[in-house]
Amino acid sequence: MILVGEPSLGKDEKTALAEVVDANWITMGSRVSGFERAFAESHGVAAAAAVSSCTAGLHLALAALDIGPGDEVLVPSMTFVATANCVLYVGATPVFVDIESLHRPLISIEDAARKCTERTRAVIVMHYAGYLVDRQAWLDFAQSRGLLLIEDAAHAAGAPGAGTIGDVAVFSFYGNKNMTTAEGGMIFAREESVLNRIRQMRALGMSSGTHERLQARAPLYDVTMLGWNYRMDEFRAAVGLVQLRSLRKWNETRRDLVSRYRDVLSEYCPAVSVPFGNAVEPSAYHLLPAILPAGSDRKAIMERMRDTGVQTTFHYPPVHALSFYRSRYPSGPLPETDAFAERELTLPLHPKMTNSDVRRVADALANALCTGRADPEASQ
């Protein structure tokens, strides 16, 4: 089976994990701080805070920026549910924004402008499939309206410039991401004071950590703000340090596979299009979203591809249409999001794939599309 995504784990990760066991210090310590430094440096920023997940990091971002009850936060609906959940965690209200188009499924500035009210405090942009939103346009948008800008950079690890657009940015290291720690996340903040607040909030608001207290021989701590236990541990950081060494190479492989997909799909499946065709913004090439012809039976296509050993999925069921959100936070029409959600099919993309795998996927899709075509006579 060619899977949609697969982690690349090997003997270096095993060795790094064994070293943590031997070191006998397993909670947040020198590996976590080393991973923070290395990840920050690899993205050209001064500092970072590692956390237990991107979801936790997004919660901390909003909390540290003092977003709360009475505030509205603009979010894309074409995203993973975590992007909207974090708004609810702080008691604020998510306001769903459409995407630009089928071919650029990134949060739309025009629709965001329409959705602004006097209660809007912030906007969360999400770099769908790893393609960065337009930096200058969003900086201007946020600045001209006095809004905070947060990047959900879950898909964008390693993309040049990722994490440097927003007041706060959060990456994910979940198992299907471009690099993984199984569960985990990383936070950047433009202001050092915000990052320091985030550091304290991830550890229950305590003024110092266990490792720091041991090193400083200062057993006492104070709690000066509300916090949560969103810490990363040494095992995850050790794996993260190893994975980070390959991130650039893996993203280059992903880029080459995407380019191969574009060629092969236009030959085998000309009715299928791949978004971001003329993208100028950098990308981490996290996903390969394909747009099926209008009216396609996606479920049948997925089943047929699965039968020939190709896993597919879709990103995402739009958040505004999920039962929990639909009933509590009804949104106006999001026509581009709805059209994209109906026709998007995510094809396999990960650095273990080869060009011949790409050919096999395209072949499977071409066959599934042919046999999946509605037969007008059959329904009579």
Picking from 309, 227, 239, 283, the residue whose alpha carbon sits closest to that of residue 1 is 309
Contact 333, 257 (CB under 8 A): no
* Range 207-216, long-range pairs (CB < 8 A, 24+ positions): 209/28, 210/27, 210/28, 211/25, 211/27, 211/28, 211/29, 211/30
Cα–Cα separations (whole angstroms), residue 21 to 51, 180, 184: 21, 20, 19
Hey, what are 29's tokens? 């310590």
DSSP category for residue 178: S
Shortest approach of ligand PLP to residue 117 CB, angstroms?
A: 25
Backbone angles phi, psi at 167, to 5 degrees: -65, -35
Nearest CB to ligand PLP, comparing residues 163 and 185: 185
In angstroms, the CA 90 to CA 66 distance is 9
| Contact criterion met (CB below 8 Å) for 238 and 31 | yes
Identity of the residue, 61 or 154, whose beta carbon is nearer to ligand PLP in the bound complex: 154
- Helix axis angle for 355-372 and 234-268, nearest 10°, is 60
Closer to ligand PLP by CB, 124 or 238: give it: 124
Q: Which CB atom, from 331 or from 346, has the smaller least distance to ligand PLP?
A: 346
Q: Residue 92 CB, nearest distance to ligand PLP (Å)?
A: 17
Distance in angstroms (rounded) separating the CA atoms of residues 94 and 74: 6
CB 149 within 8 A of CB 125: yes
Shortest Å distance, C-beta 97 to ligand PLP: 14
79 vs 120, beta carbon nearer ligand PLP: 79
Which residues participate in catalysis according to the annotation?
A: 177
Contact residues for 252 (Cβ-Cβ < 8 A; gap 6+): none
Q: Report in angstroms how near the CB of residue 284 gets to ligand PLP at its nearest.
A: 12
Using a 10 angstrom Cβ sphere, with 0-12 exposed, 13-18 middle and 19 or more buried, the burial of residue 345 is: buried
Q: Residue 274 corresponds to which tokens in the numbers above?
A: 């791949």
The residues that touch ligand PLP, with contacts defined as CB under 6 A, are 53-55, 79-80, 82-83, 126, 152, 154-155, 172, 174, 185
Q: Which is nearer to ligand PLP, 105 or 372 (CB)?
A: 105
> Looking at residue 1, what DSSP letter applies?
-
Smallest distance from the beta carbon of 67 to ligand PLP, in angstroms? 17
Q: Which of 181, 280, 279, 192 is nearest to 231 (CA)?
A: 181
Minimum distance from residue 288 beta carbon to ligand PLP (Å): 15
Smallest gap from Cβ 286 to ligand PLP, in A, equals 8
Place of tokens 């994975």: 243
Which lies closer to ligand PLP via its Cβ, residue 111 or residue 152? 152
